[in-house]
Chains A and B, each alone.
Chain A
């Protein structure tokens, strides 16, 4: 498997300045770069403490000159909140600045709170994201292009800066597993899906994985090597009280996310109030569902993840809800020194195949030219 690191850049309270949150994320990425992680991902959210980064591509541009080999990813660009021409050009710019290390995650968004304030209808989000993907493919692969979609109309236009990665940068899509046409297109084009069980058991990813496998087989691709990302909250400790505390930190993040999803959020200033979610698992179950425990437990859990849904990439999320920085860095170091080697040894014994290389082969949609 490959191992990534995910930065939500959450601000738990006034004890964390924005600068401290951003510096902490940068510190994690620098260490992950040294340890050989494949990709450092940055989330995008707006107008609350849930995530401080409004522009993951700006974060990638910031990290590009201070990292060496780690790929830099947006997970995800909330596509409907962008002007397509600005997004396309910034994708190319960041791929150039990082010398071809950009991974572009796309998502349709899920927070009414954000969409309302951007003047965009959340119900249009999926259609807009599909059209945005059309535009990204055309703009970056053609000398000149025009687009006449339902949501976007662009006259004949040239993009001066193209990506280092040809024909396109590495593209990932979050969620949207129910959008049949998009899923088929992803399989044909080599785009990678990403999923997260959050506070639920890993089994919840089985269904989208099974659907993805069917599509891969129909397309003649090998499900055992196709790329498939799974995000996991990981915290390494031998101390039970500390483990529970870590689960509470991660649960805080999921509670905020759910309140934004369900439009039940309440604010104190720009802080979303942490409120119990009707359907949240008990904290004891959360502790089991997250990857929390000793290094050996982490190895066992990640091997089980592979056996359950065969991720090509484990997207390690270490900082949620204000986990102390030194604990995050300790877990990251243990991942590099013990856990990842331990998992890989177990997978080798099980005959696991290496994930395929990153290759995009855009299948341009016929419509909207």
Chain B
């Protein structure tokens, strides 16, 4: 239904779920999340193929034939698998899902993520020419110091909120099979929320003058990312600031990498919420 209503390419990032409180509220055992994720994806693909289908899985059984009446525009639907480590990159490659990454990990880890995804995809004969999006925060100003002040102020609110959200689960992850690494990650959220300790994370975002940010974009392109999801709408950031950051990215950074962002069109396109660029 969404693919029919949107009349545009539909981009859907999917993941197994990381918040324990959400899984608990749904009554889902997190140790089953990976298997459930894979089965859901199989069902979705069967359905989008357009023919009546049945499914017999460990977690989901559809023993009655299910016809699809909406004839979804499968050619316009793009799924991405959310990836946080080289290990999960291989899992998503096995599922034939392009990677969707958040710029929270050091560049050498991001590099290993892309390498792992490419290697596994190549081995199984999959397509490498896929969109590979990464979500990055953008804080652009006339001077580096000004941009640093912006990110430290607004990102602090964001991470404090995240730390509160995940604090409920911080200790619980250690004993959940398949989620052991999340204990460390969520523990780090509290540390990153301190502006004094935010530096390594800031280095991974688009922060600085337009010239600096253009170089940062190039670094991610070098790793293998080719679609950027610009994140400015985080907790507490006023609308005017969000719009200003998007506008600056669209006018001062993006035109170097994409014809979609030619000067003069940029503001209009920003208003149409075009966030991605494809070099």
Stretch in contact with the other chain, from A47-55, A229-237, A314-322: A47-55
Contact A157/B1 with A18-B71, A48-B67, A116-B64 known, Cβ cut-off 8 Å: no
> Are A155 and B68 in contact, with the CB atoms below 8 A?
no
* Residues in chain B near residue A116, CB distance under 8 A: 64
Q: Say whether B258 faces chain A, with CB atoms less than 8 Å apart.
A: no
Q: When the two chains form the complex, which single residue of A19, A49, A119, A157 contacts B69, counting CB atoms closer than 8 Å?
A: A49
Chain B 56-115 interface residues, beta-carbon cutoff 8 Å to A: 61-62, 64, 66-71
Alpha-carbon gap, A119 to B24, bound state (A): 21
* Residues in chain B near residue A82, CB distance under 8 A: none
* Residues in chain B near residue A59, CB distance under 8 A: 1
* Residues in chain B near residue A22, CB distance under 8 A: 1, 4-5
Q: Say whether B27 faces chain A, with CB atoms less than 8 Å apart.
A: yes
Closest partner residue, chain B, to A146 (CB atom): B25
> Are B4 and A155 in contact, with the CB atoms below 8 A?
no
Closest partner residue, chain B, to A63 (CB atom): B5
Alpha-carbon gap, A55 to B68, bound state (A): 15
Q: When the two chains form the complex, which single residue of B2, B61, B69, B71 contacts A47, counting CB atoms closer than 8 Å?
A: B69
CB proximity of A316 to chain B, nearest CB, Å: 23
Q: Say whether A260 faces chain B, with CB atoms less than 8 Å apart.
A: no
> Are A157 and B4 in contact, with the CB atoms below 8 A?
no
CB-based A-B contact count at 8 angstroms: 51
> Are B27 and A47 in contact, with the CB atoms below 8 A?
no
Chain B CB count within 10 A is highest, among A17, A47, A55, for: A47
CB proximity of B76 to chain A, nearest CB, Å: 12
CB proximity of B278 to chain A, nearest CB, Å: 26
Alpha-carbon gap, A116 to B21, bound state (A): 30
CB proximity of A196 to chain B, nearest CB, Å: 23
Alpha-carbon gap, A153 to B2, bound state (A): 30
Contact A155/B25 with A18-B4, A22-B5, A58-B2 known, Cβ cut-off 8 Å: yes
CB proximity of B82 to chain A, nearest CB, Å: 19
* Residues in chain B near residue A117, CB distance under 8 A: 62, 64, 66
CB proximity of B277 to chain A, nearest CB, Å: 25
> Are A54 and B67 in contact, with the CB atoms below 8 A?
no
Contact with A along B1-22 (1 / 0, CB 8 A): 1101100000000000000010
> Are B69 and A270 in contact, with the CB atoms below 8 A?
yes
Chain A CB count within 10 A is highest, among B2, B21, B61, B69, for: B69
Contact A267/B67 with A58-B1, A117-B62 known, Cβ cut-off 8 Å: yes
* Residues in chain A near residue B62, CB distance under 8 A: 117, 119
* Residues in chain A near residue B64, CB distance under 8 A: 116-117
Closest partner residue, chain A, to B54 (CB atom): A117
Closest partner residue, chain A, to B61 (CB atom): A119
> Are B66 and A52 in contact, with the CB atoms below 8 A?
no
> Are A155 and B2 in contact, with the CB atoms below 8 A?
no
Please name 10 further chain A to chain B contacts, defined as beta carbons within 8 Å, in addition to the given A47-B69, A117-B64, sorted by A numbering. Answer: A18-B71, A47-B66, A47-B67, A48-B67, A58-B2, A154-B25, A155-B25, A157-B25, A267-B67, A270-B69
Interchain Cβ contacts under 8 Å between A and B, 18 examples: A22-B1, A47-B66, A47-B68, A49-B69, A53-B1, A58-B1, A58-B5, A62-B5, A83-B26, A85-B25, A117-B66, A153-B27, A157-B21, A157-B25, A269-B52, A270-B52, A270-B68, A270-B69
Closest 8 CB pairs of A and B: A270-B69, A270-B67, A18-B70, A157-B25, A117-B64, A62-B5, A19-B4, A116-B64
